[in-house]
Structures are given as structure tokens and as C-alpha cells.
Structure 1
Amino acid sequence: MLIRWLLAALHLLGFGFALGAVLARARALRRLDVAQSVQANDVRLRDVFRSDSVWGITAIVLIFTGLMRAFGGFEKGGSYYLHEPLFHLKMTALVLILLIEVSPMLALIRWRVTLAQGGPIDLTRARRFAWMSDLEAALVIVMMIAASGMARGVWAS
């Protein structure tokens, strides 16, 4: 019983941190000035990287706790979730987030590597990544709504 409660609490907290982190990343990306040098954007880039790291960590926590809860024998079990329409909505939102995240994730990894090597970073796609982060935040909200509906038995099969 205690482990079920802890997994549920971590999963719920993960949503809050994920939403905050992806919105913070979007805000930090919008603050980058593409007309200025990397040095002039140093503090702003640190904000981008910090929020991106939190976003990545919380995504791992959410996926791990979600898998444990759905298929690890701690909750109702995989057969229940696989027949739950809101679970399918939640997983669709997750897949969309993962697909959207590929481009910003790879670019931010390249930015980190290039910055560590002292090279210039191409910030021209920062606004696009901010918009993509906003879209991901909306999908996190969809996941939270679906999760709360599942918890209340809305549309249960």
C-alpha cells in the first residue's frame, strides 16, 4: 500500500514539475537574443539548459512511475489500462510529446556540446523550440486531465 501511494505521489508531482520545467524552457528560449553573441546570452542559455534538464529528468520520472503503476503490478494492471479510453488519450499525448521533443532535444544537446567546445551556437531556431515547448506543455495538461479522469472512473470500460 505504501509503495502504491509513493508511486502515485511521485507521478503526480512529476506532472507539476514537468509542466513548470517545459514552460520555463519556453520562456528561457524566448529570452535568447539571436542578434547577440553566446557570451551575451550566457545567463539566458544557462536558464534554457537548467529548465531543459529538469524537463528531461521529470519526463524520465513520469515514464518510470507510469510504467510501474500501469504494468508493474502496483495498480489495477495492464489489462485495465489497455481498455481505458482515457489511458489511450494519455498515451497519445505522451507519444506526441516524444515526437515533438526530438528536434529540440537534439539541438540543445548540440548547443551544450558546442558551448563546451567554445564554438558559436546557432540560436535561430530558439523561437520555434519555445513554441514547441508550449505545445508540449498543453499536451502535459491533456495528460493530467486524462489521469484525473481515470482516477475518477470517467468513461471506464
Structure 2
Amino acid sequence: MLVNWSLAAIHLLAFALGFWAVLMRGTALSRLAAGTGDAGRVLLADNIWGICALILLITGALRAFGGYEKGADYYLHQPLFHLKMTLFVLILLIELAPMITLIKWRIAKARGAVPDTGRSMLFARISHVEALLLVLMVIAATGMARGVTFG
């Protein structure tokens, strides 16, 4: 029982912190695009967002398929779980370009070079879309927790 509760708490906290981090990354990218920000803030928020995404993936997989919670059979037959996973995959797909670019920024900064920040506004928008998708994931999760089904 304590493990289930702990996994659920960590999972929910990762949603909350991840939501904040991806919004902060978007804000920092917008400021950078406007000439009033710095890449360091973007990279810090991105680090937190990445850690939270990893925690969500690990705790979610443990809860759904690791013998905790309701079990794989429940989740695999729950339409809201499929919606939640679709949203997660969508986040991963649209995150690819910002992730690759921000890795390049880190490499450039480590070499003492100035990163190419030309797509900062695009990545700010992507960050805000990801935040919206996280909210939709939480809505799907609350439906799952209450046993909402369609059929």
C-alpha cells in the first residue's frame, strides 16, 4: 500500500513540477527571443522538465505494468489510458526538435560559443503546447482514477 501511494504521489508531483518547468522554459525562451532573457534560464528549466518527464515515464510504467495499482489488464482496456499515452507520445514527438537544439546549446556553451537562439520563439510555443497537453493528461488520469469508461 505504501509503495502504491508513494508511486502515485511521485507521479502527481512530477506532473505538477513538469508543468511548471515547461511553462518556465517557454517563458524563458520567449524572453530570449525578445532579447531580454538568457540561455541559462532556458537550460535550467529544460533540465527540470526533462527530469520530470523521465520520472513520469518510470513511475507511470511501474504503476501500469509493474504489478502496482490496478494492473496492466485494467490499463490496456481503459480508453482514457490510451488517450493519456497518445498525449504523452505527442509530447515526446513535438519535444524532439527543442530537445536536440537545446543539447546543441549546451555543447556550444561548454565550448564557449554562443548558441543559435533563432528558433527560440517556436520552441516557446511548443513548450506552451506541451503544458496544455500535460493538463489534458491530468484530466484523462482523473477520469481513469474514477473508473470513467466509454462503452
Bucket of the pairwise TM-score, normalised by the shorter protein: over 0.9
Work out whether residues 150 and 156 of structure 1, in 8 Å CA contact, stay in contact via their aligned partners in 2. Answer: no
Instruction: Give the TM-score taking structure 1 as reference length.
Output: 0.92
In structure 1, which of residues 134, 144, 148 is the aligned counterpart of residue 142 of structure 2? 148
Structure 2 spans left out of the alignment, 5+ residues: none
**Deviation at residue 105 of structure 1 after TM alignment:** 0.3
| CA contact 1:11–1:66 (8 Å) conserved in 2 | yes
Aligned to 1:13: 13
Q: Which runs of 4+ in 1 moved over 4 A?
A: none
Instruction: Give how far 1:69 is off.
Output: 0.2
Q: Deviations over 1:117-143 (max 9, x none)?
A: 011221110000000001111110010
Identity of aligned residues (%): 53
The residue type equivalent to 2:27 in the other structure is R
Task: Say how many residue pairs are matched.
Answer: 151
User: Which residue in 1 is equivalent to 2:95?
Assistant: 101
Query: Could you state the TM-score of these two structures normalised by the residue count of structure 2?
Result: 0.95
- Is there any run of 5+ residues in structure 1 with no aligned partner, and where? none
Matches within 5 A, 1:68-83: 68-83=62-77
Correspondences of 1:26-65 after superposition (within 5 Å): 26-33=26-33, 44-65=38-59
Partner of 2:126: 132
**In angstroms, what is the RMSD of aligned CA positions?**
1.4
Residue 87 of structure 1: aligned partner: 81
User: 1:14 is matched by which residue type in structure 2?
Assistant: A
